[in-house]
Amino acid sequence: MKFGIIVFPGSNCDQDCLYVLRDVLKQSAVRLWHQSTDLHGCEAVVLPGGFSYGDYLRTGAIARLSPVMDAVSAFAKDGGLVLGICNGFQILLETGLLPGVMSRNTSLRFICRFVNLRVERTDTPFTNRCVEGQILRLPIAHNEGNYTVDEQTLKSIQANRPVDSSQASEASRGTRSGFRPTGKARGTSQVVFRYCDAQGQLTDAANPNGSIDAIAGLCNPAGNVLGLMPHPERSAEPALGSSDGRLIFESMIQSLTHA
């Protein structure tokens, strides 16, 4: 699989993404400078973390004007897989490929630590290697990760979510559904990851930044664009304290292989 990792001025996780994809997962991966106007035949795109344009004005607000973002938007609208990590997620929000905005963490502190994430959906191309309700341990490192959205949009994001997610996860444990590229995700919640405690419960203490509805990661209605604040590329090998992040990249590889 050929992955394209977009590099903006101020990106700083591009090398980590490249390392995980190329050296750990043995995929073909290239870095694409933000001035590029095409994606050079890449089959999946990663917007890495960092501080594009120094976070000036608002996080991601300037990066979304980069020439490459027109190509990324067209690719996303065509069903291509786009993964935005941390600042990459913020850029996707400013671009409008995902709804909402990131506000300052309620603590006003830059938070850099491991968090627990509950996998809310396994029918996306980014989570098909996970089990619903599975708890992933991934690190966050951000100052603006407090997901904020207006009430009406929140409702549409949450539409038809399971009433009792613990029951839903019991029922589907052990199943691994692949990506359905026809946009079957419609009618399901767009929330893919929520901050939780070690037991999978959503508590205020487990929500590191004040995100509404504990949202840590969400996808577009078609399911081919995912943004998440935690860093899967920083948790893809046991030496780093967790290799749970691999599941996200492996899911993408699986869905591309079976597409």
For the bound state, the minimum distance from the C-beta of residue 255 to other proteins, rounded and expressed in Å, comes to 30
Q: Is residue 220 a contact partner of residue 98, using CB atoms and an 8 Å limit?
A: yes
Q: Judged by CB, which is closer to other proteins: 144, or 233? A: 144
Q: Which residues bind other proteins (CB under 8 A)?
A: 57-58, 61, 65, 94, 100-101, 103-108, 146, 148-150, 210
Out of 13, 86, 130, 219, which one is annotated catalytic?
A: 86
151 part of the active site = no
| Least separation in angstroms between CB 104 and other proteins | 5
Instruction: Give, in order, the Cα–Cα distances in Å from 123 to each of 103, 147, 158, 194, 254.
Output: 29, 23, 16, 16, 12
Pairing relationship of beta strands 111-119 and 191-196 according to DSSP bridges: antiparallel
As measured in angstroms, the least distance from the Cβ of 147 to other proteins is: 11
Please give the DSSP secondary-structure letter assigned to residue 104.
Answer: P
For residue 233, indicate whether it is catalytic. Answer: yes
Judge whether 226 and 192 are in contact, CB under 8 Å: yes
Name the residue nearer to other proteins (CB basis): 61 or 68: 61
Nearer to other proteins, 158 or 243 (CB): 158
Q: How far is CA 98 from CA 73, 106, 183, in A?
A: 11, 22, 15
34 is catalytic: no
The single residue of 43, 94, 132, 233 carrying the catalytic annotation is 233
Q: Considering the complex, what minimum distance in angstroms separates the CB of residue 57 from other proteins? A: 7
Indicate the residue among 18 and 92 with the shorter CB distance to other proteins. Answer: 92
The burial of 209, by beta-carbon neighbours within 10 Å (0-12 exposed, 13-18 middle, 19 or more buried), is given as: buried
Active-site amino acid positions: 86, 231, 233
